[in-house]
A and B are shown apart, each in its own frame.
Chain A
Amino acid sequence: MKLTVNGTVHEFDAPPDMPLLWVLRDLLGMTGTKYGCGIAACGSCTVHIDGKQQRSCVTPVSMAEGRQITTIEGLSDDASHPVQRAWAELDVVQCGYCQSGQIMAAAALLAEDPEPDDAAIDQAMNGLICRCGTYQRVRAAVHRAAELGGR
């Protein structure tokens, strides 16, 4: 099986129904994408497939074949993506476990809606759980990222 992750083609053996999440983590050694629930209820496993956010824990790897997959490791080379810069500026993270997913979801949101209002942010990010409760800073940081990414 072949998979293009962050622009690099990887070859491996896996059953077609194996979730993309576990392929990334356990077969490709890319652990930035996190397991949180396994049922697409928390968003910690969010990646981009052809630019759209997807929950990798319920995405069979066979469905990701031949498509462009971006993970947190590939969002930028140097934490320079506007979402990452905003996250750093506003000190969003606490334990950090859910943040790969939060950042990937926020980046996907901004790609579709460059200037989301609070309601749009709340709606787009409601599928992601942060038990540390960083939601207020997530909201503020998405706004800040919109400014940083503004053209």
Chain B
Amino acid sequence: MRIHEANRLLTAGTSRRDFLKTSAVATGGLVIAFHVPGAKRLAASGIAPAGPFAPNAFLRIGDDDSVTVLLAHSEMGQGIWTALPMLIAEELECDWSAIRVEHAPAAPAYAHTAFGIQATGGSTTTWSEFDRYRQAGATARTLLVQAAADRFGVPVTGCRVENGMVSAGDSRARFGELVEAAAKLTPPESVALKDPADWTVIGRPTRRLDTPEKITGRAKFGIDVQFDGLLTAVVARPPTFGGKVKSFDASAAKAIPGVRQVVEVPSGIAVVADHFWAAEQGRKALTVTWEPGPAAGLDSENMLAEWRDLTRTPGVTAAEAGDAAGALAGAAQRIEAAYSFPYLAHATMEPLNCTVKIGPDGCDIWTGTQFQGPDQMAAAAIAGLKPEQVRIHTPFLGGGFGRRANPASDFVAEAVHVAKAAGAPVKTVWTREDDMRGGYYRPAFFHRARLGIGADGLPVAWDHDMAGQSIVAGTFFEAMIPENGVDPSSTEGLADSPYMAEVPNYRIGVHTPTPGVPVLWWRSVGHTHTAFVTETLIDEAAYAAGRDPVDYRRALLANHPRHLGVLNLAAEKAGWGSPLPAGRARGIAVHESFGSFVAEVAEVSLESNQIRVHRVTCAIDCGIVVNPETIRAQLEGAVAYGLGAALHSAITLRDGQVQESNFDGYQVLRQAEMPAVDVHIVPSKEPPGGVGEPGTPPIGPAVANAVFVLTEQRLRDLPLRL
């Protein structure tokens, strides 16, 4: 019996219990399942699974002692393949080497505890599963101990559990020997979790469980899916956003050996072939005439120039206090600064792809997705099936960074259309060029800030207008937008900045133009631009006030102990204020995002007018630490991701067409530019925060602030150019 079948059994019937259920699995094993209140925030939108409760199944223990952990979230590099099993193992007391890991199928059971849909994003996995996975482990242990106590004829209090073995006196039983009996027991209404003082797994540096597969080529990504009869498609898509097919001639394409079919789908013309190379040759032979669509004239340079003017007028007020304009007029010093940020592609190493097989009893989909829930709904609608008839299989994701969490389900929906039109199982593969020109970028933004500084050197007024596209408008996430109509993902990190609490007069205005470029969350989302603005502007204010940038921040963050903690730790570890070799300078930035606090000090020099970052010292407070190794790796990676964007990356449009198409034109960070990154973790008993994204926002401003020390120039247009 498969786990989703077990789920169906668990959810069958009307008398669902509020908490725990178990089910014996036919293969001889124990499935731990429990109910948590469903109907979360998104339920009202109709996307969240129907019904008042969602059942969950996270753990299978086999009679071979294996402990299989089912991940409700996708592993895309961030390390949850290891962290979530650690949460279970902490309570289960199993043998760590007995752990196996699988991605869960798409099912209501695996809905996100906060979002209500099955999804991975927002650096939420660890904190959102911190209780659920520990409870799953504790429940299993409780039942196994009961089974052992019954077998040994001793009270449960006389049993010890260690390393996958229950013992009492001379009696011992392995988990695998207990599962059959444990599965027949009535689970407890509630389970006590360990006192954090007794944790032995949480907080222990733990090596990744997915390494063996990933260093041998055995790890399967979506693009690696193969089976008999599977065809490969590439799709010719319009060269401009919103474009459509006017007409096409497929005769030359069909003449290419290996090309099987050419089919029209809503997104373009799909060439379906025996393998990728034939499909790609077929696409090159295809003649398509396009309707250019409404965004055909778009020029990103002109667009940012328009937004430069637009921000001279007040936008919709997202946040305000006091009288920003009045206080600005009366300030001792004023700084006016304008900032531009380009569109950015996620450029995951694995280009988008999706395999679809439609059969008589439903549809199987294999794809690296962060959005099993929404993708399942989208696929069902296109295939004319019920959502539960769409079985989503999640291989490893070759990077996500938000691109694989698309409310529009673009690459999944298209692949279902292709398979449906072809009447055959098809893997749709995007070339790098398709992927890079396919939209869903970090939105471009323009910011204009006016900061008033009082006689004491501290800010007294902050008057701010920004312009950029909303990510959530028009999607099922639109319910996130409050009544003022401002997308919170545009202003996050600015409107809620701790600095605002120290500025008596502020106003943040937002313009939300709609140029028609598809946009999406990109590692750290709005913080990618708001942190740059706030942390370079505050740095400017420090120099205007004649203060050291760290001391100045300390003064402003005096009431924000976690900001202060990472600021001080990063400054100390970086040797802030100590001498540097000639031609080098340090810059600092501190920023909160996704529930965690990060400060970074960048040590920078200029080489032939190029910015060179030698060392980055990071301090993070992410609350309770589950796997310190993961935290270090994520911060190293976040620095690289953010530094590539800060120094190099931009997607530009001319005549509506994306100019960059591959890694030759779209530059990202490479090996030779990787600074030495030191990561320091603040010990904390606070609830866990996010880790995947919070390391990205501070790096750009930390570098720009160091460049100012070297050049006395404030670089405010991204990517940074001298």
Cβ contact within 8 Å between B349 and A95: yes
Cβ contact within 8 Å between A95 and B396: yes
Interface residues of A in 108-146 (CB under 8 A from B): 121-123, 125-139
Residue from A95, A136, A138 with most neighbouring chain B CB atoms (10 Å): A95
Interface residues of B in 337-357 (CB under 8 A from A): 346-351
When C-beta atoms are compared, the residue in chain A nearest to B220 turns out to be A31
| Of A33, A39, A73, A93, the contact of B214 (CB 8 Å cutoff) | A93
| Of A27, A99, A125, the contact of B215 (CB 8 Å cutoff) | A99
Cβ contact within 8 Å between A71 and B217: yes
A137-B226 contact given A32-B218, A34-B349, A95-B76, CB 8 Å threshold: no
- Answer yes or no: A5 CB below 8 A from chain B CBs: no
Cβ contact within 8 Å between A84 and B216: yes
- Answer yes or no: A63 CB below 8 A from chain B CBs: no
- How many angstroms between the C-alpha atoms of A79 and B456 in the bound complex? 63
- How many angstroms between the C-alpha atoms of A30 and B224 in the bound complex? 9
- Answer yes or no: B276 CB below 8 A from chain A CBs: yes
How many inter-chain contacts with C-beta < 8 Å in the A-B complex?
Answer: 182
| Of B220, B257, B349, B396, the contact of A131 (CB 8 Å cutoff) | B349
When C-beta atoms are compared, the residue in chain A nearest to B640 turns out to be A133
- How many angstroms between the C-alpha atoms of A15 and B275 in the bound complex? 12
A26-B275 contact given A37-B663, A139-B671, CB 8 Å threshold: yes
A36-B349 contact given A41-B662, A136-B674, A136-B677, CB 8 Å threshold: yes
| Of B211, B429, B638, the contact of A88 (CB 8 Å cutoff) | B211
When C-beta atoms are compared, the residue in chain B nearest to A44 turns out to be B349
- Answer yes or no: B710 CB below 8 A from chain A CBs: no
Cβ contact within 8 Å between A93 and B210: yes
- How many angstroms between the C-alpha atoms of A132 and B78 in the bound complex? 9
Cβ contact within 8 Å between A95 and B432: no
| Of B214, B274, B640, the contact of A96 (CB 8 Å cutoff) | B214
Report B-chain residues with C-beta under 8 Å of the C-beta of A149.
Answer: none
Cβ contact within 8 Å between B215 and A84: yes
- Answer yes or no: B212 CB below 8 A from chain A CBs: yes
Number of interface residues of B (CB under 8 A): 63
- Answer yes or no: B77 CB below 8 A from chain A CBs: yes
Cβ contact within 8 Å between B637 and A96: no
Report A-chain residues with C-beta under 8 Å of the C-beta of B432.
Answer: 36-39, 42
Interface residues of B in 427-482 (CB under 8 A from A): 429, 431-433
Per-residue CB contact flags for chain B residues 237-281 toward chain A (1 = under 8 Å, else 0) read 000000000000000000001000000000000000011110000
Report B-chain residues with C-beta under 8 Å of the C-beta of A32.
Answer: 216-218
Residue from B77, B397, B429, B638 with most neighbouring chain A CB atoms (10 Å): B77
Cβ contact within 8 Å between A31 and B217: yes
Interface residues of A in 1-48 (CB under 8 A from B): 15, 18-19, 22, 25-27, 29-39, 41-42, 44
Cβ contact within 8 Å between B640 and A135: yes
Cβ contact within 8 Å between A91 and B674: no
A87-B211 contact given A41-B662, A94-B78, A97-B349, CB 8 Å threshold: yes
- Answer yes or no: A98 CB below 8 A from chain B CBs: yes
Residue from B219, B396, B668 with most neighbouring chain A CB atoms (10 Å): B219
- Answer yes or no: A69 CB below 8 A from chain B CBs: no
- Answer yes or no: A100 CB below 8 A from chain B CBs: yes
When C-beta atoms are compared, the residue in chain B nearest to A14 turns out to be B277
- How many angstroms between the C-alpha atoms of A131 and B639 in the bound complex? 11
A132-B215 contact given A26-B275, A27-B275, A126-B671, CB 8 Å threshold: no
Report B-chain residues with C-beta under 8 Å of the C-beta of A126.
Answer: 670-672
Report B-chain residues with C-beta under 8 Å of the C-beta of A49.
Answer: none
In the complex, besides A88-B211, A95-B397, 11 extra interface pairs with C-beta distance below 8 angstroms are A26-B274, A31-B223, A34-B223, A36-B350, A38-B431, A72-B217, A87-B215, A88-B215, A95-B400, A96-B398, A137-B633
B residues near A (Cβ < 8 Å) are 75-79, 207-208, 210-221, 223-224, 226, 232, 257, 274-277, 346-351, 396-401, 429, 431-433, 629, 633, 636-641, 662-664, 668-672, 674, 676-677
